[in-house]
Amino acid sequence: MRVRLCVRPSEQFATVAVSASWSTPLTAELLAPYALIPFVIRRGSASCPDTAELRQQYEWRYGLRSSFELQKRGNVHSWQAQCNAVLPALTGDAEYTLEEAITFWWGNLLFPALEMGSEVRAFRTDYLSQEKQNIQRRIASQKNDAVSYAYDQTVKLTMRHDAHRFSIWGESEELEPWNGESLLNVFEDWKTHAVIDVYIQGSVDAETCKSWFAKFSVVELVDETATSQLHEWASVSAFLPEQVIEEWETGDGEQVKLNLAYHLPVSRSSDQFPIAMMLNGVLGGYAHSKLFQHVREKASLAYYASSRFDAMTERVMIQTGVAPEREEEARSVIFAQIESLQNGEITEDEWMQTKAMLSNALREREDDPSAWSEMVHANRLSGANWTLQSLMEALHRVTPEQVTNLAKSLILDVVYRYGPKHGGDEHAHD
In terms of CB distance, is 52 or 94 closer to another protein? 52
Crossing angle, helix 125-140 and helix 180-193, to 10 degrees? 90
Side-chain-facing half-sphere of 132: CA atoms under 13 Å: 19
In terms of CB distance, is 130 or 228 closer to another protein? 130
Q: For another protein, which stretch binds (CB under 8 A), given 8-16, 66-74, 174-182, 390-398?
A: 8-16
| 428 lies in the site for another protein, by CB under 8 A | yes
Task: Find, among 116, 127, 132, the residue nearest to 41 by Cα.
Answer: 127
53 with 4: CB under 8 angstroms?
A: no
Smallest gap from Cβ 203 to another protein, in A, equals 7
Select the residue interacting with another protein from 364, 385, 399, 424 (CB under 8 A): 364
Parallel/antiparallel/unpaired status of strands 195-202 and 2-9? parallel
| 124 lies in the site for another protein, by CB under 8 A | no
380 with 228: CB under 8 angstroms?
A: yes
Distance in angstroms (rounded) separating the CA atoms of residues 415 and 143: 18
Select the residue interacting with another protein from 95, 119, 223, 367 (CB under 8 A): 367
| 208 lies in the site for another protein, by CB under 8 A | no
| 111 lies in the site for another protein, by CB under 8 A | no
Its sign, for the CA torsion 388, 389, 390, 392, is: positive
Select the residue interacting with another protein from 2, 62, 250, 269 (CB under 8 A): 62
| 59 lies in the site for another protein, by CB under 8 A | yes
Task: Find, among 414, 88, 405, 64, the residue nearest to 243 by Cα.
Answer: 414
Side-chain-facing half-sphere of 273: CA atoms under 13 Å: 21
SS3 label, residue 293: helix
Smallest gap from Cβ 230 to another protein, in A, equals 29
Smallest gap from Cβ 87 to another protein, in A, equals 7
Task: Find, among 336, 315, 332, the residue nearest to 414 by Cα.
Answer: 315
In terms of CB distance, is 185 or 293 closer to another protein? 293
| 427 lies in the site for another protein, by CB under 8 A | no
Task: Kindly write out the interface string for residues 127-156 of this chain, putting x where it contacts another protein by CB under 8 A and - elsewhere.
Answer: ---x--xx--x--xx--xxxx---------
Stretch 27-56 residues interacting with another protein (CB under 8 A): 50-53, 55-56
| 15 lies in the site for another protein, by CB under 8 A | yes
Select the residue interacting with another protein from 22, 34, 58, 123 (CB under 8 A): 58
Phi and psi at residue 85, to the nearest 5°: -120, 135
Bridge partners of 288, per DSSP, are none
**Own/partner long-range contacts of 95-99 (Cβ < 8 Å, ≥24 apart):** 96/61, 96/62, 98/16, 98/204, 99/208, 99/211, 99/212
| 323 lies in the site for another protein, by CB under 8 A | yes
Select the residue interacting with another protein from 302, 311, 384, 391 (CB under 8 A): 302
Task: Find, among 152, 184, 154, the residue nearest to 169 by Cα.
Answer: 152
| 123 lies in the site for another protein, by CB under 8 A | no
Select the residue interacting with another protein from 157, 222, 357, 411 (CB under 8 A): 357
| 425 lies in the site for another protein, by CB under 8 A | no
284 with 291: CB under 8 angstroms?
A: yes
Stretch 247-286 residues interacting with another protein (CB under 8 A): 252-255, 286
Select the residue interacting with another protein from 28, 90, 214, 238 (CB under 8 A): 90
Task: Find, among 259, 254, 252, 329, the residue nearest to 296 by Cα.
Answer: 329
Distance in angstroms (rounded) separating the CA atoms of residues 333 and 338: 9
| 359 lies in the site for another protein, by CB under 8 A | yes
For another protein, the binding residues (CB under 8 A) are 11-15, 50-53, 55-56, 58-65, 84, 86-87, 90-91, 126, 130, 133-134, 137, 140-141, 144-147, 203, 252-255, 286-288, 296-297, 300-304, 321-323, 349, 352-353, 356-357, 359-361, 363-364, 366-367, 369, 428-430
